[in-house]
Structure 1
């Protein structure tokens, strides 16, 4: 049977993040991609100039109609945008459970643009986190979910990962890219303990969509395994980070846009 992954996220016209990045990642990793759209954005590699949410009831209709027909082995959640959309997605997940759920609580774009309001953050915190098998916030997103200041060290990041775990998700991966340093260190917290995973930091401007790409790579690798719990998250996360590292290293070769260009999702397939 063909492995199928689902992304529930917003659209990025520049193709480097959101639904577009997720579907590219699924394809690059050998998984059939399905998608439910939560918002339109006006955005390019320099920033976001507008967000147009899809009504919550229609997001729910997209999800239920898809899941009535297509078996899904893993689901990735990206930018949900509004509190009503978050609650509607949570309701469908509680009904259907389309494979392990990887939640990337997208709140701030790479450019620094805020993408959701406080009501949506609260809905993610209360309604969505307890349904997630893995959440993948970056430093500012982890702080927003905990209503605290951003971590400035790996030790503080570890404390926040454990605090997020207590909010209900089965596992937490806090991405430490914002901390700086020679290594980019992520913290993986599960009920079995805390593990660190790191890669050399790359000097590149092609960072658009890195969070979307990592979380969708995790979902794709889980789908390839059949989507059956329990998931051993460390090897899955390491595999996704290896894919992202290669995509980051080759991103500038694409020459897309004049701001933060996209990573090269198809580095394993295209000649550069």
Structure 2
């Protein structure tokens, strides 16, 4: 029997099921790994946007993490919505005490509707305390610019430059996502000290892209233990996500920007 990898997501929720923890667990299931979860915040949101965010207590988050890592053999961790500084401290301290081979950090700062998902005071702490633990970080163009206190990249040359600059915070690699570029295609750049690799995808014209960032980072965490390197991992993750976006219109969920179709390979 093929080994079943156990992957942990640390993130906020989406009760409408398209993003956040719900998207992560769907991604894990769709890609054949066992998903565990630690919830950092309870978010009232749907396809129309975010209505309200409720914090989870530090004591509760610590207890959740301890429950999971004391029992499960975690092969990779995906870190998404954190919300506040105290949670960054908690996660960083826990990562120092347990060995997990692969840490995927999605530096979630804003939601698609513009809602802030990371307190401003926590941004520097994220850079200096949590990013150094990451095997890979997956910022979009807006997030990369904010982390570097620079204008948002407008072309691929600027993307590459910002990807290199993000390495100075201590992460091993960066996947900077170019979905916000005003270009025919949607290029991403993988940047590490050893490699710079361009991944290009045809731009898909659909409004149903709710949760794409969460889903991609979760796919990277799910697939990395199975793959020999990040290049192969990213290729497989993007190929699967492209299919999920191409099939998103089949779902007809909600009245706004609907979710991608995580189970397009399973549902008939």
TM-score range, shorter chain: over 0.9
Q: Which residue of 2 aligns with 1:247?
A: 244
Give distance in 2, aligned partners of 1:43 and 1:65: 27
Range moving further from structure 2, 90-99 or 249-258: 90-99
Match of 1:237 among 228, 234, 239: 234
Task: Describe the SS at the equivalent of 1:179.
Answer: coil
Q: Which residue of 2 aligns with 1:20?
A: 22
Give distance in 1, aligned partners of 2:148 and 2:55: 25
Q: Where do 4+ consecutive residues of structure 1 move more than 2 Å?
A: none
State TM-score, norm by structure 2: 0.97
Q: Which residue of 2 aligns with 1:128?
A: 130
Give distance in 1, aligned partners of 2:166 and 2:61: 27
Report the Cα offset of residue 4 of structure 1.
0.7
* Correspondence list, 1:1-272, <5 A: 1-225=3-227, 232-271=229-268
Report the Cα offset of residue 180 of structure 1.
2.5
**1:17-54 deviation per Cα after TM superposition (whole angstroms, max 9, x unaligned):** 00000000000000000000000001110111111111
Q: Is the 8 A contact 2:82 2:117 kept in 1?
A: no
Report the Cα offset of residue 102 of structure 1.
0.3
Report the Cα offset of residue 57 of structure 1.
3.0
Report the Cα offset of residue 195 of structure 1.
1.0
Q: Is the 8 A contact 1:41 1:51 kept in 2?
A: yes
Report the Cα offset of residue 120 of structure 1.
1.7
Give distance in 2, aligned partners of 1:236 and 1:131: 19
Cα RMSD for the two superposed structures: 1.1
Q: Is the 8 A contact 1:4 1:223 kept in 2?
A: no
**1:223-262 deviation per Cα after TM superposition (whole angstroms, max 9, x unaligned):** 335xxxxx61111011100011000011111000111100
Give distance in 1, aligned partners of 2:80 and 2:206: 24
Give unpaired runs (5+ residues) of structure 1.
Answer: 226-230
Range moving further from structure 2, 111-120 or 167-176: 111-120
Give distance in 2, aligned partners of 1:7 and 1:111: 23
Give unpaired runs (5+ residues) of structure 2.
Answer: none
